[in-house]
Amino acid sequence: MLIQIKNIKGDSLITIKCNPDNIEFEDIQDEKFRSWLKEQISGGITQTKEVYNPDSKTYSIIEGPIEKNDANYCLVLKDFLKRSGYVVIEKHPEIEEEIKEILKKIPDDNEDKKIILEKLHNLSYLEQTTILEELKSK
């Protein structure tokens, strides 16, 4: 999973490649943030869980650690970063490339093409796949 992390102002801080057994730092824009993130990861990040109490018939949300080898580690890391106040964007380079390939066939002066290319790198997976399906249907 490729994750781009930005501050609340929208400035890119870092992109990480996350696998349950390894995290690689790529496109480092802010060394101080990289150090902070590395410290958080080595110290252990936390996840929130909803727990049901059958006696009181209520749910509680608790926060606890997650193991680095857990299959959900990357998703929990994304959630942890969001809870810490960062903008987290899951990147899908293969979808972006497919969109760009289709857009090559459209004239450069097309306004829709310009808008898509300008915003493509900040779009969510759902937005990108929607655009891709629309482009394929034309």
Task: Please provide the DSSP assignment of 33-94 as one string.
Answer: HHHHHHHHHHH--EEEEEEEETTTTEEEEEEEE--TT-TTHHHHHHHHHHHTT-EEEEE-HH
Confidence of residue 8 (pLDDT cuts 50, 70, 90): very high
Whether the full predicted model's pTM is greater than 0.85, yes or no, is: no
pLDDT value, residue 102: 94
Please give the mean pLDDT across all residues of the chain: 92
Rounded to an integer, the average pLDDT of 16-28 is 89
Structural domain spans, the chain: 2-91, 93-137
In this predicted structure, the answer to whether residue 121 has a pLDDT above a threshold of 90 is no
Reported as a single tens digit per residue, the pLDDT across 42-90 is: 988 999 999 999 999 999 999 999 988 888 999 999 999 999 999 998 8
